Structure 1
Amino acid sequence: MDFLVVERRLAPLTVESYGMDLRSFLAWAQENGAGEPSAWARTTVTARLGALRRQGKSDRTLRRHLSALRAFIRFLVREGAVEADFTADIVQSAAWRRLPKTLTDEEVDRLLAAPDENTLESRRDGAMLELLYATGMRVSELVQLRLGQVRLDAGFCLVHGKGEKTRLVPLGDVARKRVADYLAEVRPAFRRGRLSDYLFLTRRGGPMTRQAFWFRIKIWSHIAEIKCEVSPHMLRHSFATHLLRRGADLRALQALLGHADISTTEVYTQVDRDALRKMVDRFHPRG
């Protein structure tokens, strides 16, 4: 599994999951007379995925197995163990892809406007929500931000993502303004003289946690009268979908989101197609 750690820089848990999937595949291939990589073909992989489906494995498991096999086959191609990557044209079934839930533009506006200026906590929460939607970062990346990672003067945020990968994400004017307000007036009051380089702090001076922010976002989504259950990750999904809808390049979006594989980013194109389909069904005279 060293190639996954060194070359693809995947997170430890992902490497562990891929390892389990590959060991399972190798055992299955051996049992089915295809123990050597030279005996593998596209049909070997599709047959394995079909066997997993018949076993009742979830869509998520199928996606992970395919990703693990793709990574392994590409490694074998580089090592000369197989001639070509026969997994490249294997398209994930639409049923395997759990389409992400997103907010509408109006719902995002209401959510970001919900934290008022009356309390220090609400001003901090407003900055966190604005930054989350402005960058599309994961909530784990948000709460781990250090002061040096946010450059308001340059208008960029340095995000440390999965697998120790770092990406540079631009900040819009609104996000910069709310974060600047938080840094100038809220964070000094929360720090209470303690030394901490975490960007977002609790009232007691400790770093914000994912669980605490999840609780806070539920409060603001209720105030914003958003009917569905809102999670921090929904803002990441909304960031991606709204950019694509306005013509953003898929490869650029992949870089902003920190996706290792563009197939992960492509799921957002399906979300937008579904929205268009619903619009046609609703408004077209022959829909």
Structure 2
Amino acid sequence: MSHDHNWISRYAEAQAAELGAAENTRLSYGRDLLGFSEWLAKRGSAFEQAQRADVEGYLIDCEAEGLAQSTRARRLSSIKQLFRFAFEEGWRSDNPTLQIRGPGRTKRLPKTLSEEEVSQLLEAARGLGRNAFERVRNTCLIEVLYATGMRASELVELPISAVRGDPRMLLVRGKGNKERMVPLSPPARDALKNWLTLRDEVEEEARIAKGQKPSRFVFPSRGKSGHLTRVGFYQLIKEIAVQAGISPDKVTPHVMRHAFATHLLAHGADLRAIQTLLGHADLSTTEIYTHVLDERLKELVLTHHPLAEK
């Protein structure tokens, strides 16, 4: 293992232990750092010798490659965090990234779906599947996703213990192992109840026939993870979109999360409540949805201002 690779693995271990960073976060940071390490190696350098000019040169090359502003911002963030960690650990006597300002992130409006389109997706999920088991599961997945605004990983990894007893609230474990409570709408509770009845029957049959242990996940799978994977769910939601007559390019689990937030705001929820429900650590992340508030305020003025009619 090269010296750079050793730095990356020790940094990743610290991230996991101290910050509770999710595996997906660690993997994306690891890929970013490997890319920078390879770039340095081609120039006869490494993390130990890299200077500010090297980091800036790498960012210029990234821009020349046509990488998105958000990708370049994340890559710089990965590099900055590594060098801060290296300085704290005493691997380096300086931090070459201290004065480097990143490209920032453009606050683009997230893609979202209309309420009518979400209704079409919910209807399509009820009819998609080779049998009743799949149709009931697909309905439950989409209903719970839209009702809670959960991340795809949070939904597919939901433990069975979180949903027993017909709960009105779900305890969700989010990024950095932070827990939050999200309410379940009546349609989502009904869909969950129907799914659990069917799921438990199938689990019990497998236990009697094959001696299989019951799954600890709401959405079990025979794969290595033991639950429906994010990739599997991503593909499934695309199939549901096609069934609903909506372009699959427009529909992902994350777009459903945006729809949840957008529709709540449009119906009067405040930004702080949305922040709590989405599990955003920082309100600035939630502020991307203020375009919905702007539209609502504009409509209020146009319909309620005494001079509006004139």
> Are 1:119 and 2:138 matched, yes or no?
no
Matched with 1:237 is 258
Matched with 1:52 is 62
Conserved? CA contact 2:274–2:286, under 8 Å:
no
TM-score in terms of structure 1 length: 0.66
Amino acid at match of 1:4: Q
Conserved? CA contact 2:32–2:75, under 8 Å:
yes
- Residue identity (%): 34
Conserved? CA contact 2:149–2:277, under 8 Å:
yes
Matched with 1:104 is 114
Secondary structure of the structure 1 residue equivalent to 2:254 = helix
CA distance in structure 2 between the partners assigned to 1:212 and 1:45 by the alignment: 37
Picking from 104, 113, 121, the partner of 1:92 is 104
Matched with 1:9 is 20
CA distance in structure 2 between the partners assigned to 1:143 and 1:213 by the alignment: 8
After superposition, what is the alpha-carbon deviation per residue over 1:166-219, rounded to whole angstroms, capped at 9, x for unaligned?
422312232222212222x3212332243222212469xx74344544444334
Amino acid at match of 1:248: D
Amino acid at match of 2:170: C
Matched with 1:173 is 185
Aligned residues: 262
Cα distance, 1:18–1:181 mapped onto 2, change above 3 Å: same
CA distance in structure 1 between the partners assigned to 2:286 and 2:227 by the alignment: 34
Amino acid at match of 2:141: M
Instruction: Let me know the Cα RMSD of the aligned residues.
Output: 4.5
Amino acid at match of 1:17: R
After superposition, what is the alpha-carbon deviation per residue over 1:129-182, rounded to whole angstroms, capped at 9, x for unaligned?
11111222232332222211235555332334455x242231223222221222
Structure 2 gaps, min length 5: 1-10, 208-213, 303-310
CA distance in structure 1 between the partners assigned to 2:136 and 2:68 by the alignment: 41
CA distance in structure 2 between the partners assigned to 1:249 and 1:275 by the alignment: 12
CA distance in structure 1 between the partners assigned to 2:165 and 2:108 by the alignment: 35
> Are 1:155 and 2:174 matched, yes or no?
no
Largest Rg, 1 or 2: 2
Q: Output aligned runs, 1:252-263, within 5 Å.
A: 253-259=274-280
CA distance in structure 2 between the partners assigned to 1:75 and 1:209 by the alignment: 32
Matched with 1:67 is 77
Structure 1 gaps, min length 5: none
Conserved? CA contact 1:135–1:171, under 8 Å:
yes
After superposition, what is the alpha-carbon deviation per residue over 1:1-52, rounded to whole angstroms, capped at 9, x for unaligned?
1553333332331341353367579889x98xxx798xx7xx9987864453
Matched with 2:216 is 197
CA distance in structure 2 between the partners assigned to 1:274 and 1:44 by the alignment: 43
TM-score in terms of structure 2 length: 0.62
Amino acid at match of 1:125: N
